[in-house]
């Protein structure tokens, strides 16, 4: 297990460096002069030249790349072109909103997804299973912005259970309230996905010999279902949760725009609309790092639970 862990960690280092390289190169290739943008339209040629020297923009590609990489490793993601604030600081301020959103969404998704998956698996082929399948296919196929708008319309406009904007007075008094609708929107989508995975893995597990043995021994159906079935069926779910996290970042761009939440997705969207490149780079980099780290952790848990998978992965990476 230790060897496996080390191998997996070492394998992520070139990926991380590659990501920093790509993000840097894209900025390098973008047309337009960043020094001119910072100096403003009425700056003199001398002032622009000074900024260029200060920022090291007149240095060759490889020197700038090295400077950028070493800065990123030290946690310096540059400053916003528009406000001049350090990008990392802004990201750290915005991240808690999105993390809270993602956590609540994940809880909703896991609870709903697993319940639906189990019901579907034990009623396999019957009406309830069909219904669950239709629901989950629909859930996967409906775009987040549509379900978000419909949920907003029903619960905030028609039923008036929740205010429509996160900046309204009630929401400010009770901040957790503003996460309910957006988290629900994000959560049902991944619940739909999860339900399908749980269903197929549960059906596979319930067909195993040891389940038949447990039945033959006369164990209660519930005990078989939860103790023997579910615990084994949940193993593939771990990977899905890892993949979900990246879909939450994508989803948060849309959801935070619709529900007016000041999280990382809105922050990135605003930066894109204002062409604030250091922020865009910073958010993409942080998003990619979070994805890599979470998937690394999920892989390790996966391998720890199931040694067979570990050997398989080792065999593959050695081949």
Partner 1 sequence: MNMKNSSMKHFTLAGWLSLLGIIVVLFVAIFASSLAPNDPMDTSPERRWKDDIKGYPLGCDNLGQCIFSRLIHGARLSLEIGFASRLVALAIGLIVGLTAGYFGGWIDWILMRIVDMFLAFPSLLISLAISMIMGNGLGTVIFAIAIVGWAEMARIIRSAALELRSSEYVIAAKTLGASDLRIMLTHILPNCLPIITVIFTMGIATAVLSEASLSFLGLGVNPAMPTWGGMVSTGKDYMISHPELVIYPGLCIAFLVIVFNVFGDELRDVLDPSHKGNF
Work out whether 205 is an interface residue with partner 1 (CB under 8 A): no
Contact window for partner 1 (CB under 8 A) among 7-15, 55-63, 105-113, 168-176 = 7-15
Structure tokens at 204: 């596979």
List the structure tokens of 62: 């490889």
Instruction: Give the CA distances from residue 203 to residues 81, 118, 140, 156, 231, in Å, rounded to whole numbers and listed in that order.
Output: 54, 9, 21, 39, 13
Binding mask 278-317 for partner 1 (x = CB under 8 A): --x--xx--xxx-xx--x----------------------
d(CA 57, CA 84): 17
Of these, 44, 74, 141, 207, which contacts partner 1 (CB under 8 A)? Answer: 141
Q: What is the C-alpha separation between 199 and 191, in angstroms, rounded?
A: 12
**Contacts (CB under 8 A) with partner 1, residues 148-177:** 149-150, 152-153, 157
Q: Which is nearer to partner 1, 137 or 172 (CB)?
A: 137
Q: Is 108 near partner 1 (CB under 8 A)?
A: no
What are the C-alpha distances in Å from 245 to residues 11, 159, 186, 242, 294?
Answer: 21, 31, 11, 6, 8
Residue 195: φ, ψ to 5°? -55, -40
Report the residue number, 148 or 224, with the smaller CB distance to partner 1: 148
Q: Is 159 exposed, middle or buried (0-12, 13-18, 19+ CB in 10 A)?
A: exposed
* 207 binds partner 1, rule: CB under 8 A: no
By CB under 8 A, tell whether 254 contacts partner 1.
Answer: yes
- CA-nearest of 224, 230, 239 to 114 is 230
Minimum CB distance to partner 1, residue 85 (Å): 20
What is the rounded distance in angstroms from the CA atom of residue 147 to the CA atom of residue 183? 12
Yes or no: say if 8 and 296 are a contact pair by the CB < 8 Å rule: yes
Options 95, 140, 235, 313; binder of partner 1; rule CB under 8 A: 140
Among 37, 67, 246, 306, binds partner 1 (CB under 8 A): 246
Q: Which stretch binds partner 1 (CB under 8 A): 59-67, 83-91, 114-122, 264-272?
A: 264-272
- List residues binding partner 1 (CB under 8 A): 11, 14-15, 18-19, 22, 30, 137-138, 140-146, 149-150, 152-153, 157, 246, 249-250, 253-254, 257-258, 268-269, 272-273, 275, 280, 283-284, 287-289, 291-292, 295, 319
């Amino acid at each position: 297990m230790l060897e496996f862990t080390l191998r997996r960690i070492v394998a992520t280092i070139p990926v991380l460096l590659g990501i920093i390289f790509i993000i840097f190169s894209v900025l390098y290739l973008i047309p337009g002069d960043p020094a001119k943008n910072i100096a403003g339209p009425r700056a003199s040629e001398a002032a622009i030249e000074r900024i260029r020297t200060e920022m090291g923009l007149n240095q060759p590609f490889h020197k700038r790349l090295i400077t950028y990489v070493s800065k990123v490793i030290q946690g310096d993601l540059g400053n916003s072109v528009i406000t001049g604030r350090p990008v990392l600081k802004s990201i750290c301020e915005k991240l808690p909103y999105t993390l809270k959103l993602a956590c609540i969404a994940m809880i909703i998704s896991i609870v709903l997804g697993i319940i639906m998956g189990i019901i579907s698996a034990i009623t396999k082929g019957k009406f309830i299973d069909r219904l669950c399948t239709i629901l989950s296919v629909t859930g996967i196929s409906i775009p987040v912005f549509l379900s978000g708008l419909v949920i907003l319309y029903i619960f905030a406009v028609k039923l008036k259970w929740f205010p429509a904007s996160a900046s309204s007075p009630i929401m400010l008094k009770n901040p957790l309230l503003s996460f309910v609708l957006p988290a629900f929107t994000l959560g049902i989508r991944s619940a739909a996905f999860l339900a399908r995975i749980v269903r197929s893995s549960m059906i596979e597990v319930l067909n195993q010999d040891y389940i038949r043995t447990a039945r033959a021994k006369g164990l209660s159906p519930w005990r078989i279902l939860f103790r023997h079935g579910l615990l084994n069926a949940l193993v593939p779910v771990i990977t899905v949760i890892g993949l979900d996290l990246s879909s939450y970042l994508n989803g948060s761009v849309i959801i935070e725009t619709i529900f007016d939440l000041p999280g990382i997705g809105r922050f990135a969207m605003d930066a894109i609309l204002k062409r604030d490149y250091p922020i865009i780079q910073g958010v993409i980099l942080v998003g990619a790092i979070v994805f890599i780290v979470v998937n690394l952790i999920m892989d390790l848990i996966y391998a720890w639970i199931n040694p067979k998978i570990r050997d398989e992965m080792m065999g593959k990476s050695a081949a």
